[in-house]
């Protein structure tokens, strides 16, 4: 969320951001309402000042045992007037708020402007393997080796759910442990294991609500949402808090399942497990001081890249254009891994800097030094990594002509085997 005063003082900047992101928040309406708002505030506060003065008089009259009924009767009119002004103000502020919370974050100046075709490939790592045979897509390999059960999962939960099995399940677990261990012991993150459901407030804080309500699983009886990413519970760890400057940056990593309804995406990549309703992910979340947040983004990206480097999976980095940036992000890099069987780049990570956008929504602040005025922190997060597509890449890139899968070296201690056959 952007600050109202900032919007008022930088309307052109905000308008450009809305345009560049392909959003359609009604900025002009907001600016007009803002003027009205301040007019009403002037009136209502004058009336209140008057009311306070007379109230004081009544108290004094009562103390002096004087009759105050006439004054009290007069005050009734003023009280009604205040009430009606208040109602009007509330209406205006509510409308302002509804627009304000739908205004997207402003892209950083380094972000390419335009639709997704303007996404920039920043770099590529690793060689795309050229096998001497026709590589199979992961669903065929997984099916043949009994690693993933598509049919039974669909029977109990519906389409686009999967159930891992045997060494498939083990591979999933191995990857989670490998990633968390890496981020904790080498990159300095603290492991957390947060709730997998959260309240509306938390979803609002990270920007999932109000725009993405349709994309989330919802539990009406308890007004809870299943998390679509660990970003939500982990970022909300510090909601409504004032952190100390010296404890920043705070780095967290968490494994959670992620639940996404993927409403409206049926027909897209439905085969296999490129897009499923429940998937595992290891996430990294940072709370940092504003001045260093873009450096922190580069480090975050490097931390995610290292997972793929250690797994020896080729990937490329995209700097997303404004039109592809999410609502809350100021800048975002996507990491896409090469999947040899599908012959496709698959997104396995998004590393974003949200600047103070989430912090303002979730009210996460810090004091630069003792006694300093609290300021909003900057929040960042990135997948490190999403599991199913990483699994896909391993299955497809490490497959042999005989239909087996070589286990990447770094995973062997976690897997206990060198080859899945």
Report, as residue numbers or ranges, the catalytic residues. Answer: 260, 275, 347, 350, 389
Which of 76, 130, 134, 268 is close enough to bind RNA by CB under 7 A?
76
Q: How far is the CB of 4 from RNA (least distance, A)?
A: 7
Of 109, 218, 180, the closest CA to residue 210 belongs to 218
Task: Kindly state whether residue 64 participates in binding RNA, applying the rule CB under 7 A.
Answer: no
Distance of alpha carbon 265 from alpha carbon 80, whole angstroms: 53
Which of 58, 101, 169, 197 is close enough to bind RNA by CB under 7 A?
58
DSSP notation for 115-162: SGGG-EEEEEESPPP--SS-PPPHHHHHHHHT-EEHHHHHHHH-TT--
Distance of alpha carbon 186 from alpha carbon 226, whole angstroms: 30
* 24 versus 373: smaller Cβ distance to RNA: 373
- DSSP assignment letter at 329: -
> 123: which strand partners?
317
Distance of alpha carbon 351 from alpha carbon 143, whole angstroms: 32
Distance of alpha carbon 107 from alpha carbon 110, whole angstroms: 8
Q: Are 236 and 202 in contact (CB under 8 A)?
A: yes
Task: Kindly state whether residue 70 participates in binding RNA, applying the rule CB under 7 A.
Answer: no
> 319: which strand partners?
120, 333
Task: Kindly state whether residue 75 participates in binding RNA, applying the rule CB under 7 A.
Answer: yes
Q: Are 313 and 211 in contact (CB under 8 A)?
A: no
**Among residue numbers 346 through 375, which ones bind RNA (CB under 7 A)?**
370-371, 373-374
Task: Kindly state whether residue 123 participates in binding RNA, applying the rule CB under 7 A.
Answer: no
Angle at 191 between CA 190 and CA 194, to 5 degrees: 125
* 59 versus 122: smaller Cβ distance to RNA: 59
Binding segment (CB under 7 A) for RNA, from list 57-65, 102-110, 205-213, 382-390: 57-65
Task: Kindly state whether residue 113 participates in binding RNA, applying the rule CB under 7 A.
Answer: no
Task: Kindly state whether residue 220 participates in binding RNA, applying the rule CB under 7 A.
Answer: no
**Among residue numbers 261 through 320, which ones bind RNA (CB under 7 A)?**
none
Which of 32, 42, 115, 188 is close enough to bind RNA by CB under 7 A?
42
Q: Are 374 and 293 in contact (CB under 8 A)?
A: no
Q: Are 205 and 362 in contact (CB under 8 A)?
A: yes
- Binding to RNA by CB under 7 A, coded x per residue (else -) over 11-40, reads ---------------------------x--
Angle at 72 between CA 70 and CA 76, to 5 degrees: 115
Which of 9, 29, 32, 79 is close enough to bind RNA by CB under 7 A?
79
Q: Are 47 and 85 in contact (CB under 8 A)?
A: yes
Task: Kindly state whether residue 65 participates in binding RNA, applying the rule CB under 7 A.
Answer: no
Which of 9, 13, 32, 46 is close enough to bind RNA by CB under 7 A?
46
Which of 52, 98, 193, 265 is close enough to bind RNA by CB under 7 A?
52
* 45 versus 298: smaller Cβ distance to RNA: 45
Binding segment (CB under 7 A) for RNA, from list 42-50, 118-126, 153-161, 394-402: 42-50
Q: Are 404 and 420 in contact (CB under 8 A)?
A: yes
Task: Kindly state whether residue 116 participates in binding RNA, applying the rule CB under 7 A.
Answer: no
Q: Are 255 and 180 in contact (CB under 8 A)?
A: yes
Q: How far is the CB of 272 from RNA (least distance, A)?
A: 32
Task: Kindly state whether residue 55 participates in binding RNA, applying the rule CB under 7 A.
Answer: yes
**What are the φ/ψ torsions at residue 315 (nearest 5 degrees)?**
-150, 170
- Binding to RNA by CB under 7 A, coded x per residue (else -) over 168-207, reads -------------------------------x--------
Contacts with RNA by CB under 7 A: the residue count is: 30
Residue ranges in contact with RNA by CB under 7 A:
4-5, 38, 41-42, 45-46, 48-49, 51-56, 58-59, 62, 72, 75-76, 78-79, 90, 199, 223, 370-371, 373-374
């Amino acid at each position: 969320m952007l600050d109202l005063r900032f919007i008022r003082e930088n309307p052109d900047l905000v308008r450009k951001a809305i345009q560049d992101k392909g959003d359609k928040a009604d900025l002009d309406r907001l600016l007009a309402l803002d003027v009205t708002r301040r007019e009403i505030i002037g009136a209502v506060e004058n009336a209140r000042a008057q009311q306070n003065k007379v109230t004081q008089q009544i108290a004094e009259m009562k103390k002096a045992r004087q009759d105050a009924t006439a004054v009290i009767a007069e005050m009734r009119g003023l009280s009604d007037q205040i009430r009606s002004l208040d109602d009007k103000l509330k209406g205006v502020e509510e409308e302002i708020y509804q627009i304000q919370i739908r205004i997207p974050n402003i892209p950083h100046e380094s972000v390419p402007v335009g639709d997704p075709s303007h996404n920039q490939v920043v770099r590529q790592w690793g060689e795309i393997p050229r096998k001497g045979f026709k590589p199979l897509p992961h669903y065929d390999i997984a099916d043949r080796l009994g690693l993933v059960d598509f049919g039974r999962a669909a029977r109990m939960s519906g389409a686009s759910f999967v159930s891992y099995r045997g060494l498939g399940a083990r591979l999933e677990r191995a990857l989670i442990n490998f990633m968390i261990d890496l981020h904790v012991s080498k990159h300095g993150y603290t492991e957390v294991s947060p709730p997998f459901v959260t309240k509306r407030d938390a979803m609002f804080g990270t920007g999932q609500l109000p725009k993405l309500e349709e994309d989330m699983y919802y539990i009406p009886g308890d007004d809870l949402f299943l998390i679509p990413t660990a970003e939500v519970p982990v970022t909300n760890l510090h909601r409504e808090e004032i952190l100390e400057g010296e404890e920043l940056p705070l780095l967290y990593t968490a494994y959670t399942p992620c639940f996404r309804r993927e409403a409206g995406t049926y027909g897209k990549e439905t085969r296999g497990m490129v897009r499923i309703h429940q998937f595992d992910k290891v996430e990294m979340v940072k709370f940092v001081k504003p001045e260093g947040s873009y450096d922190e983004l580069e480090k975050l990206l490097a931390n995610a890249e290292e997972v793929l480097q250690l797994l020896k999976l080729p990937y490329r980095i995209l700097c997303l254009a404004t039109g592809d940036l999410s609502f809350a992000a100021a800048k975002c890099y996507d990491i896409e891994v090469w999947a040899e069987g599908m012959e496709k780049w698959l997104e396995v990570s998004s590393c974003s800097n949200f600047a103070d956008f989430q912090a303002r929504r979730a009210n996460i602040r810090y004091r630069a030094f003792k006694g300093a005025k609290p300021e909003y922190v900057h929040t960042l997060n990135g997948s490190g990594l999403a599991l199913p597509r990483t699994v896909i890449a391993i299955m497809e890139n490490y497959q042999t002509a005989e239909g087996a899968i070589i286990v990447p070296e770094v995973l062997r201690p976690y897997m206990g085997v060198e080859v899945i056959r």
